[in-house]
Chain A
Amino acid sequence: MKTLLTLIFSLVVLTAAAQGKNYEAAMTAALEKMKSSETVANFQEAANTFERISMTKTKEWLPLYYASYSMIVVSYFDQDINKKDAYLDKAQQFLDKALKIAPVESELYSLQAFLYPSRITVDPMTRGMEYMPKMNAVLDKAIALNPENPRSYYLRAITLFNMPEQFGGGAEVARPHFETAKEKFDKFEPKSPLHPNWGKEINEMEMQKL
């Protein structure tokens, strides 16, 4: 009897542990790959890997976050305007799913603000007017949910930096936002090695251009 109980108990624990390990190991490996990605194909592959993980781990927002992130990067890379929207639709699907799981996660709103500018590049005349206010709204929300999330400040800074002065952008307008982002990046500690932790280097690179 005792043996049987031990058997059942250890089986349950082992399976759970193995699965947990599996998730972390899979995520870690996928993150490593994503970080070393350089081409559209690399990022597409990363997005695919995270998508696979997300389908098994339906309660985790992180795989969806990275699947969406990789897809957004693909959309920035690809110059084919007709395809851009298709990638972004997919990225938005991942993001929407993630928001259902973690509706008050600041990182997800930041990511939304990373997605919108790519939409604008498809048709700046028409979409700029539509998406700029939306972008500001999600960044405000991201900052409200977690003022220490440095990516919100970086995304605001880079958008302002790339916007012509005539539309209220430019280096001088962007500078204080880059500086805040830098402060926040310096202090930032991700909750776990799997949590979002990108942007510090690019923030500093962009600051060089000011």
Chain B
Amino acid sequence: MKTRLIILFQFLILFAHAQVEISGVVQSETGSPITGVNIFIQGTYDGTTSDSLGVFSFKTETSGEQTLVASCVGFETYGEQLNLTNNITDLKIVLIEEISELDEVIINAGTFEASDKKKSVVLKPLDVALTAGANGDIFGAFGKLPGSHTVGEEGRLFVRGGESYETKTFMDGMLVNTPYYSKMPDLPTRGRFSPILFNGSVFSTGGYSAEYGQALSSIVALNTVALEPETKSSISVLSVGLQGSHAKRWENTSLSISGEYLNTALTNKIFKQNVEWLKVPVIVGSTMLFRHKTSETGMLKSFASFNYDTSSLLYDNFEQLAFQEISLGNKNLYSNTTYNEMLNDDWMIQTGVAVNIDRENMDIDSDNIATSRNSSQLKLTLSNYSVKDVTTTFGAEALIYKYDQDIDMNGNFNLSFNNNLFAGFAESEWKVTKNFALKAGLRTEYNSLIKELNVTPRFSAAVKTGKSSQLSAAYGKFFQNPNDDYLKFTDELAPETSTHSILTWQYKKDSRTLRIEAYNKNYSDLVKFDEEFSVEPGNYSNTGSGYSRGIDVFWRNQKQFGKADYWISYSWIDSKRNYRDYPVKVTPHYVSKHNLSVVYKQYFTKINSFISGSYTFASGRPYNNPNTPEFMAGKTKTYNDLSFGFTHLFYLFNTQTVAHVIVNNALGFNNVFGYNYAQTPDNNGVYQSQPIVPGQKRLIVFLLSFQL
């Protein structure tokens, strides 16, 4: 009996808790009600969800000191100690909005980033691959962003009044020394790597991180894809050749190989050439990507590419009033292996090795120039995250470079040099508050050839100026060794230097981005010479200087899938320099004052087609007319280009198929890039000239790709 009583008593204890009612309202910092908030007593089932007015009310059987928790997607979780003895009413809970990646302050002065993962970026990797007029070339796509100039006869990136050699390309953090195919005089080249290899890229037009050196103007940092998503193959038939690829995926490993054979014989026949080809350009290329996931955070990547290009043409050398037979052959092997891993919660290691072997052979009539450029690089970077909101990175690298040129031209000459570059860097980024971030870095380099040790500082900062806008600034000093073309004659030169100051304002809300960037870049120690190709070391000096200043504007409206998506990029630049054999400080021939690009894309779901178009405008470029006393006073007419791309997805022979057509210069603008003048005047004392024009007026390329 007594036992029963006890049991009964226990029941009472267990179930006879007094119920307490808790009610109130949940609001945001601005006082608006928050719906769907999960409000509960920690450790119990007791709780509820706030209604459309933010109001909540629930009962609990717990008592005493308890923690009330309020959590909701998009807000920081809230906790409050409550003493549950009596009903609690009119509780007011204020939830603080979580800083999403989109709203976070981000240091972006001088930087355009394309990424799938980050939401703060203004470009996607697909934008790079599918920009009309870029011909599927990464550098071509970046050429449609503010800060770069259209230099049609080069095909390389020219950034903010800088020459193309002032831009360096990196793949997974490792230097790519020869990122472009070889180049015929007055005809453009293109990048060696397909944009589909990369799932992220950074195009920096200045003020970049201390991790990168030996670039006066700009860097292009490309990140290769991680594991291939699935085993697949594809074969493509182009009007200019064949491409094929196969990827194999295992649990934590993937391997993909691809090969291509490109030959412009057919298109050269269809589209009238302004060039007399003796041997049409042929490219044979192959790539290999091996990826292995070593752990949850560890990734081993190995990349190798080999390509070979050859062509031959009859060059109208107007300067020397002679036709020359020029043949070009280039073999290029590039390989890198990188390994990244989180060592523990605080440390990340990134390490890599890269090798680049490049052999170029140029025959000009009976003369021959054979150039070999070999480089190997080792790099180690450590990042530390142990201090909250601070990321510190430091690293070291060694770059061994061998240049060797054999010239057979009225005798045999050998020009060669070795340079070993050792560099160390440290950089720290501190998110002081959610609205303010600072970054400071230092880079030091030693060059064995020119025996120069230098230290360069880099600073950048960003501050939010509103919920959707921010101001970012960067300052940095940059060194770059003189070009191979000078170092092969003399090692008594110092590095060329530039100083960047950049101020960027960005507004980004929903689908719209507006970016306005002002910059000033000063050059000093640029190489000057009295006579080009002179073997006299005394001919060269570091007495050149120059400046670039300008404003870049970028506007993008990226609507939802299936809607129009476009961007407008405009650059105004004022740039002058006195370098090479210039007699005075002038705007160099590759700089056009105004550059405008409008890029449009739209996916039409009903017809499974993707259409892209681009219009590029550049104001006239200076050229030197020896018939006038003033140096570099001529101005070409404006450059215009309207290009299209059309992609259609369908099924052919039960195989998923992509048809792709690109049309360059659809309206057939007669563009002139500059003029070549005869070195000597004719009988009337006039220097005759000939315009430098594109290889062909229009170009149409077809591609049919089968996904097997």
Q: Could you tell me which A residues sit within 8 Å of B by CB distance? A: 3, 6-7, 10-11, 14-15, 18, 22, 26, 40-41, 44-45, 47-49, 51-53, 55-56, 81-83, 85-87, 89-90, 123-127, 129-130, 132-134, 136-137, 164-168
Contacts and interface: CB of A to CB of B under 8 A. Distances in A.
A14 B74 contact: no
A134 B36 contact: no
A55 B608 contact: no
A136 B10 contact: no
Contact of B651 (A6, A15, A136, A166): A166
Interface in B74-99: 74
Contacts of B71: 51
A134 B226 CA distance: 14
B25 to A, nearest CB: 16
Contact of A126 (B10, B126, B608, B649): B126
26 contacts: A3-B3, A3-B6, A7-B10, A10-B6, A26-B45, A41-B49, A41-B52, A45-B49, A48-B47, A49-B47, A52-B38, A52-B40, A52-B46, A55-B42, A56-B45, A82-B102, A83-B74, A86-B74, A126-B116, A130-B229, A133-B230, A137-B230, A164-B605, A166-B649, A167-B608, A168-B656
Given A87-B73, A166-B651, 14 more contacts: A3-B6, A26-B45, A44-B35, A49-B45, A49-B47, A51-B38, A82-B100, A83-B73, A125-B603, A130-B229, A132-B229, A164-B649, A165-B651, A166-B656
B492 to A, nearest CB: 52
A69 to B, nearest CB: 15
A82 B3 CA distance: 62
Contact of B7 (A10, A41, A47, A85): A10
B10 A86 contact: no
Interface of B: 2-3, 6-7, 10-11, 14, 35-38, 40, 42-49, 51-52, 71, 73-74, 100, 102, 116, 119, 124-126, 229-230, 510, 560-561, 603, 605, 608, 649-651, 656
**Closest A-B pairs by Cβ, 6 of them:** A133-B229, A48-B38, A44-B36, A133-B230, A45-B49, A166-B649
Contacts of B46: 52
A41 B102 contact: no
B73 A129 contact: no
B10 A14 contact: yes
A14 B14 contact: yes
Given A126-B124, A126-B126, A10 B10 contact: yes
Contacts of B51: 41
A22 B649 contact: no
Contacts of B45: 22, 26, 49, 52-53, 56
B44 A134 contact: no
Contacts of B125: 126
A81 B11 contact: no
A90 B73 contact: yes
Given A14-B14, A166-B608, A7 B49 contact: no
Contacts of A134: 229
A48 B49 contact: yes
A18 B61 CA distance: 14
Contacts of A125: 124, 126, 561, 603
A14 B102 CA distance: 51
A81 B102 CA distance: 13
A7 B49 CA distance: 39
A82 B74 CA distance: 10
A6 to B, nearest CB: 5
Nearest to A43: B36
A136 B230 contact: yes
A207 B190 CA distance: 52
Nearest to B648: A166
Contact of B73 (A49, A86, A127, A137): A86
A137 B254 CA distance: 15
Contacts of B510: 82
Given A7-B6, A86-B100, A41 B36 contact: yes
Contacts of A51: 38, 71
Contacts of B40: 48, 52
Query: Which of A22, A49, A133, A166 counts the most B-chain CB atoms under 10 A from its CB?
Result: A166
Contacts of A133: 229-230
A132 B230 CA distance: 10
B44 A56 contact: yes
A124 B43 contact: no
A52 B3 contact: no
B560 A81 contact: yes
Query: Which of A26, A52, A124, A166 counts the most B-chain CB atoms under 10 A from its CB?
Result: A52
B651 A129 contact: no
A167 B662 CA distance: 22
Contact of A124 (B48, B116, B561): B561
Contacts of B561: 123-125
A44 B510 CA distance: 24
Nearest to A89: B73
A7 B6 CA distance: 7
Contact of B608 (A15, A130, A137, A164): A164
